Amino acid sequence: RRVAQLHVKPRRRDSSVGPEVDLEPERLTGQELLPLAAARRQHGLDDDLHFRAQRALLCNHVPCLHRRRDLAGETLPEGFQLENYRVLRVIASGGFSFVYLAHDEKEAPVAIKEYLPATLALRTADNPSPVVPEQNLATFRYGLKCFFEEGRALAKLSHPNVVRVLNFFRANETVYLVMRYERGRTLQEHIHARGGVLRESWIRSTFATLLNGLREVHSNKLLHLDIKPGNVYLRGDGTPLLIDFG
C-alpha cells in the first residue's frame, strides 16, 4: 500500500540574513524590525516578521494599548449581542479576522467572522468599534470594502464543499460574515495528528471532492487566493470544505 508523506515544518528563528535575532516585538521596535523584514523578503524568506513590525508600530500610535501576546482584550466578550446573534467564544483568529462561535435567535450555532486586521486596527476594552490610526484608515476601509464584497459573493454560493455564508452585515464600524457552523478539524491539524502520513487513496478521493467545490467557485468568477492545509476543513464524516477565502 502506497502512502504519501507530508511535512508541515514549524516556524523557527532563522539566521540566514545577518546574525540570529530574537523576533519578538517586545525585544525590538517596529522601526528596527521593518528593515530586517525587508531584507529577509529579498532573500526569499517570507515569514511573519513584517506582520510583527507593523503591529509594533501600530501599538506605538494607539494610546492605552500595550505590546503583549495575550490578545483576548481585542475580541468581543462572551455574551455580546451582535445583531440577532449572541457571541459565545472565539474559535479562530488570524492576521485579518476573528471567528466566533455564536447562537442565532433560535439558539442554532453559527460561526461569525469579523474583519479586524491586526496590523491596521485594535480594539480597546471599553469600545467594540476598532481603533484605526489615521495613517491606516484608507487601507482599513479598502479591506473593509473587499471583505464586504467577499460576503456578498459567497452568499450566492451553495455547494457542499465550499463554506456556506448565511448572512453578512455591518456593525461596530466593521463587517461580519455569518457562516454555517461545521464540526471537524483543518487538514493541517489532520496531518499533524497522523504524523504527516496520509494514504494516497485518501488524498486522491479527498482532493477530487474538494476540486468540485473549487470548480464551483471559479464558475462564479471568484478566486480563493489562499488554498493551504489550514484553509481546508474536514468535517466529522471526512468530507472536505474550502474555508477562509483570501
**Angle subtended at Cα 244 by Cα 243 and Cα 246, rounded to the nearest 5 degrees:** 130
C-alpha cell at 133: 490610526
Q: Which residues contact 201 (CB under 8 A, 6 or more apart)?
A: none
DSSP for residue 144: H
Half-sphere exposure of 105 (CA within 13 A, CB side): 2
244 catalytically annotated: no
C-alpha cell at 33: 524590525
Contact call for residues 120 and 111 (beta carbons, < 8 A): no
Query: Residue 201 — left, alpha, or beta (φ > 0 → left; ψ -120 to 50 → alpha)?
Result: alpha
Which residue among 47, 48, 126, 226 is the active-site one?
Answer: 226
**Angle subtended at Cα 13 by Cα 7 and Cα 18, rounded to the nearest 5 degrees:** 130
Q: Which residues are catalytic?
A: 226
